Amino acid sequence: MYDSLLKSHYEGLKKQYMHKVGDTWLGERYEVCPNYGSGSVLHIIIEPGVELVIFQDCTSKRMQSDTFSYEQNMIEITCITAGWAKMRFSTEEDFVTVHKGTLLYFDWSNPWAYYEGESEGFSGISVYFNIDVLKENLNVQSSFVIEEKWSQLSTLMFKKDDPLYIVRSSPIHGIIARQLMNGLHEEMTDYLSLKSKVLEFLSYCMKEELGGVNIQGKQFEKLIEIKEKIDCDITEPLQVKQLVHIYDIPILELQEGFKQLVGCTVYQYIKKKRLKKAAQLLQTTDDSITKIANEVGYSNPSKFTSAFKAMMFETPLQYRKKYKN
């Protein structure tokens, strides 16, 4: 019999933050305890290793000091359709804020010693897939492929001691999320539709992050090193020719391999990382737009504002006014 990790997780939350209001088709329904806020949560087991959680209008505050570690390779993918949430995993960290239009990946395989979170009007879905459980039901060859893709995905997304990876969601993510939230009925035909939609959602997420990745061995390791250098040296004026020289890699191999790895060119990736860092600084500091532009590698504030608006659909000032605290 499948032992759901999420069920044990919610059993822990029931002690203080949530209470179960009943069993439902394929799962359980919870509500946030009045002392901590409001909203409902529906947990459904799609199949062993694949689970769905639907959040409806959750407004709450939560601080959890227990250490969680499930010692299994499980990823959560959350698509936010309304509201916002913020979280942190240490009292020394700034809050990370996510909002409508965000796709959040969360790594459950590593323990975290502290959690503090807050949400307002938060609605959306979370899909969980447990690689260890899925592998048990596959043949040896398929199991190896799943494990290899998992390794590539986790290497791409998660840094050491950071369980979060956040990107902007595409329209298809929001469409599928709303279909799942609005189209549930307790009939077998709808179960098949539900399962199909959840797997479709997972497929889109995997394809967007891995693309057509077909990179092997040392080439993959070298490209990961280049990606990590860009991540760490975000304010440096890095150029493709410079990376080619540092890592002794042909320019064509770098460009094609990097596009397979992250879904865009080296230049586009550097630009995205800089603007995401800028968005974080706009949320968490009072620094001027000019100072933030300089911190993320833009010497011209006007060019920074244009690039930021093209990616975030808002000027830096509009973004700060909307999302800061």
pLDDT value for 315: 92
The pLDDT assigned to 188 comes to 46
93: closest CA among 44, 161, 37, 145? 161
Q: Show me where the domains of the chain are located.
A: 5-210, 217-323
Residue type, 97: T
Phi/psi of residue 63, nearest 5 degrees:
-130, 125
* Dist CA 3 CA 1 (whole Å): 6
pLDDT tens by residue, 284-319? 889 999 999 999 988 899 999 999 998 888 899 998
pTM of the full structure: 0.63
Q: What is the mean pLDDT of the chain?
A: 80
- Whether CATH 2.60.120.280 fits 5-210: yes
pLDDT tens digits, one per residue of 19-55: 889 888 778 899 998 888 999 999 998 888 889 999 9
Q: Which of 83-97, 104-118, 180-194 has the highest mean pLDDT?
A: 83-97
pLDDT tens, position by position, 136-183: 765 545 555 566 666 667 777 777 667 888 888 878 888 889 888 886
- CATH, range 217-323: 1.10.10.60
> What confidence score (pLDDT) does residue 123 get?
96
Residue 285: half-sphere exposure toward Cβ, Cα within 13 Å = 15
Instruction: Please state the rounded mean pLDDT for residues 244-254.
Output: 87
